[in-house]
Chain A
Amino acid sequence: MKFRVERDVLADAVAWAARSLPVRPSAPVLAGLLIETTSDGLQLSTFDYETSARATVPADVSEEGKALVSGRLLADICRSLPAKPVEMTIEGAKVSLTCGSARFSLQTMPVEEYPTLPDMPEATGTVPSDLFANAVSQAVTAAGRDDMLPVLTGVRLEIDGSDLSLLATDRFRLSLRELGWDPGATDVSAAALVPAKVLADTAKSLTSGAEVTIALATSGAGEGIIGFEGSAGGGVRRTTTRLLDGEFPKVRTLFPTEQQTIARVDRATLVEAVKRVSLVAERNTAVQLAFTSGQLTLDAGSGDEALATEQIDADVKGADITTGFNPQFLLDGLTAMESPVVELAFTQASKPAVIVGVDGPDGEADLAFRYLLMPRRLLS
């Protein structure tokens, strides 16, 4: 194995592939990053039996071959190399890396012990990479972090023709992001439960190309995994991850069908006010929102300790309502929105509120992203 490659291209690809290296590898080889050269160029891979990452990089290959080196170390080295072309070659049991006047010699691990990366499932369709990254970042807001409830640590990805939906919930809130995409085959209908953390990392890391291909096998080879593919630095970035088992709860019906109160509030003002008022909310206590005509009053704290209150303008339609939320859950939803105004819709104080973005005080509600939040209540 021998090749020559641009430093920036290599560093970028190595850093990308090294992201999915396991922190505590179950076998030593899994801490490795596989370097392969073929006539097509250079290929860098990592795999921990759950998530695989493979980056192809255009390189000047003079000798085909492969080597397995410590991924963490290679990433650290590549990050600090001078801006000169990099040359790597196998020398016995070592890989030598030369860049300008810097030389490194790396111990190799046995390539034959390294597991074979799973194949990408057949491609299902494509979506603009920026849109996808944005949609995923909104959807994962409500994903659970409790490993005792593994199903809720995933994002449910639903495909129905040219509609793609992302759903996540931790039982207390629910995010639903809907977007259009280009399904490769016609009439595809599929669903997958993708680990939220992997999905968020992947979507964010694939924004350098214009499009992301989502590959999902409905049956046969590649079942139980999902693949994402994008382009960067003249090469292809491809990642697969194993889907979560289990039945995601049927959550779409949780959105209330009617509303008693609809309030529109300036998003930045509300975010600031919630942050301020919740300073006195002891752990686990709610910030209370009281909507009356033209006005929203926020309260937090208890009589024994500190109290805070603030009033902001709100366009309130319907009955007055007072309800309370976990301030962090509320802020998570509000900051996942991007529009200048948010709309909060309520039925009852003990029922969930729906939060959506609005492009202006009199604009249309943007239903592409909906955040459903359960209140906090005093015990009955």
Chain B
Amino acid sequence: MTAAPWDPVATARLDRAVLERASRDCPVLHVDMDAFYASVMLRDRPDLAGVPVVIGGGQRGVVLSPSYAARAYGVRSAMPMTRARRLCPGLVVVSPDYDQFSAVSSSVMETFRQVTPQVQVISLDEAFLDVRGSLRRFSSPYAVAEHLRARIHDEQRITCSVGVAGTVGLAKLASRRAKPDGVVVVPPEEVTTFLHPLGVEELWGVGEKTAAMLHRLGLMTIGDIAHTPLPTLHRAIGVAMGTQLHELAWGIDGRTVVPRRGDDEPDKSIGADETFGRDSDDHEVILREVLRLSGKVAGRMRTAQVCGRTVTLKVRFADFTTITRSRTMAEATDVTREIYQTAADLYAALGLQRARIRLVGVRVEGLMPRTRVQRQLVLGGREHGWQEADQAVDRAVLRYGDRAVRPATLLRGDRA
């Protein structure tokens, strides 16, 4: 055991052998992309290197992701664009490209899965990995972390930070301290020295309200919670919360890595949604968007070679209330037309009148490999139908880009 307090930043400078040894009992990795949206948008813009940039804009006008240069000016995610500009007058705004984000995200997650199947995708840009099964191929969890960082940098030209620890919660805290572009290892014997100086709000499950409550009790750091008698905590913040925080403060964390794919990855469902630039109550506009989303979803299904039977329509109204409606079709499909028809029927069944809609989404669930999908043929049916039309469109799009062929209704009001 080292005598000096565990300094996460110092560990990054330690030599590799020490870190490898330290990470031996730390099977959980938390990998977090550094300023993901900004990094993806900027990788092809060397001219913007070092310039404060935010991803965002459009009619909504909030910052989605500031680059590290912009963060230095105090620009944060979800900040109104006007405020960001005030903080940083030279700010460059780049519009987001969600298709690219999810494509990059999918390849990154796929890279993880080549190391271990135990990948729990949390969002587009972060995931937990349990690497216990990979330690015959790699000398230590630290080696896995560096391997992944090198590959992602090499293949995607973006950087990520990795927290290596014995539990999910610690790994997450460690990755935050590894940013940007680093690795932090928290070996079991250093858990308390790492954890106790941190503020209470760093603990999993402590939001603003709980943090305020703890602060009122004079509990400022995780160490304070750890050294408060359990009965006192129970009285102050309830039995369940008290026990949970007390355990977490000592590095006891029952959560495990549960393999889970991201929302946008081809697994059980594929979906897409779109926030309107301006809330809309125009059925024509909304249905056109439903058609566009259906085409997008069906195209992704065809690429992934899957078909599905259940179509879910999501509608978010101007006041943010969100509803979803599903319908299961008689047969599994990957045909744009059929998915759109079902989604449009679901929309019609809502019977909306002048309800202003902020967002619509189309999702297909119950996916199965296309090779196993059968179709009941129809008497007198045409030999070639929408299915073949879609396949032809896919080939054209592959060659000439996604604007090459599309439904005529989508020609008007071209999206920027």
A360 interface hit (Cβ, 8 Å): no
- Is B377's CB under 8 angstroms from A379's CB? no
With A379-B307, A379-B387 as contacts: A174 and B379 at CB distance below 8 Å: yes
Total A-B pairs in contact (CB under 8 Å)? 52
Among B26-34, B217-225, B368-376, the stretch that binds chain A is: B368-376
Chain A residue numbers with a CB within 8 Å of B378 are: 171-172, 374
From residue A282, how far is it (CB to closest CB) to chain B in Å? 10
B380 interface hit (Cβ, 8 Å): yes
From residue B70, how far is it (CB to closest CB) to chain A in Å? 48
Chain B residue numbers with a CB within 8 Å of A350 are: 377
Chain A residue numbers with a CB within 8 Å of B332 are: 284
Chain A residue numbers with a CB within 8 Å of B379 are: 169, 171-174, 251, 254, 352, 372, 374
* Docked complex Cα distance between A285 and B374 (Å): 7
B282 interface hit (Cβ, 8 Å): no
A324 interface hit (Cβ, 8 Å): yes
Chain A residue numbers with a CB within 8 Å of B377 are: 172, 350, 352, 374-377
From residue A219, how far is it (CB to closest CB) to chain B in Å? 31
Q: Which of A284, A286, A379 has the most CB of B within 10 A?
A: A379
Chain B residue numbers with a CB within 8 Å of A285 are: 374
Chain B residue numbers with a CB within 8 Å of A379 are: 307, 370, 373-375, 387
- Is B380's CB under 8 angstroms from A377's CB? no
Q: Which of A346-380 contact B (CB under 8 A)?
A: 350, 352, 372, 374-380
Please report whether the interface of chain A is mostly helix, strand, loop or mixed according to DSSP: loop
Which residue of chain B has its CB nearest to the CB of A351? Answer: B377
- Is B376's CB under 8 angstroms from A172's CB? yes
Chain B residue numbers with a CB within 8 Å of A173 are: 379
Chain A residue numbers with a CB within 8 Å of B189 are: none
From residue A355, how far is it (CB to closest CB) to chain B in Å? 14
B331 interface hit (Cβ, 8 Å): yes
With A379-B307, A379-B387 as contacts: A374 and B376 at CB distance below 8 Å: yes
From residue A250, how far is it (CB to closest CB) to chain B in Å? 9
- Is B375's CB under 8 angstroms from A377's CB? yes
Chain B residue numbers with a CB within 8 Å of A284 are: 330-332, 374
- Is B380's CB under 8 angstroms from A324's CB? no
* Docked complex Cα distance between A378 and B375 (Å): 6
Interface residues on B, range: 10 to 19
From residue A159, how far is it (CB to closest CB) to chain B in Å? 24
| Other-chain contact of B374, A171, A172, A378 (Cβ < 8 Å) | A378
From residue B332, how far is it (CB to closest CB) to chain A in Å? 8
- Is A249's CB under 8 angstroms from B374's CB? no
Q: Which of B368-415 contact A (CB under 8 A)?
A: 370-381, 387
Q: Which of B330, B374, B376 has the most CB of A within 10 A?
A: B376
From residue A252, how far is it (CB to closest CB) to chain B in Å? 11
A311 interface hit (Cβ, 8 Å): no
* Docked complex Cα distance between A379 and B385 (Å): 12
From residue B378, how far is it (CB to closest CB) to chain A in Å? 5
* Docked complex Cα distance between A372 and B372 (Å): 25
* Docked complex Cα distance between A352 and B374 (Å): 16
From residue B375, how far is it (CB to closest CB) to chain A in Å? 6
From residue B46, how far is it (CB to closest CB) to chain A in Å? 45
* Docked complex Cα distance between A376 and B332 (Å): 13
* Docked complex Cα distance between A73 and B13 (Å): 91
Q: Mark A302-327, 1 if CB is under 8 A from B, else 0.
A: 10000000000000000000001010
| Other-chain contact of B380, A254, A286, A380 (Cβ < 8 Å) | A254
From residue A333, how far is it (CB to closest CB) to chain B in Å? 13
Chain B residue numbers with a CB within 8 Å of A372 are: 379
From residue B207, how far is it (CB to closest CB) to chain A in Å? 44
* Docked complex Cα distance between A251 and B380 (Å): 8
From residue A191, how far is it (CB to closest CB) to chain B in Å? 19
* Docked complex Cα distance between A374 and B380 (Å): 9
- Is A378's CB under 8 angstroms from B387's CB? no
- Is B375's CB under 8 angstroms from A249's CB? no
* Docked complex Cα distance between A284 and B372 (Å): 11
Q: Mark B313-352, 1 if CB is under 8 A from A, else 0.
A: 0000000000000000011100000000000000000000
- Is A302's CB under 8 angstroms from B372's CB? yes
Listed A/B pairs (22) with beta-carbon separation below 8 Å: A171-B379, A172-B376, A172-B377, A172-B378, A174-B379, A254-B380, A284-B331, A284-B332, A302-B372, A326-B376, A350-B377, A352-B379, A374-B377, A374-B379, A374-B381, A375-B377, A376-B374, A376-B375, A377-B374, A377-B377, A378-B372, A379-B374
10 additional A-B pairs beyond A285-B374, A374-B381, A379-B307, beta carbons within 8 Å, are A169-B379, A172-B376, A172-B379, A174-B379, A254-B379, A374-B379, A376-B374, A376-B376, A379-B375, A379-B387
A-B pairs, top 4 by smallest CB distance, nearest first, are A374-B377, A376-B374, A171-B378, A376-B376
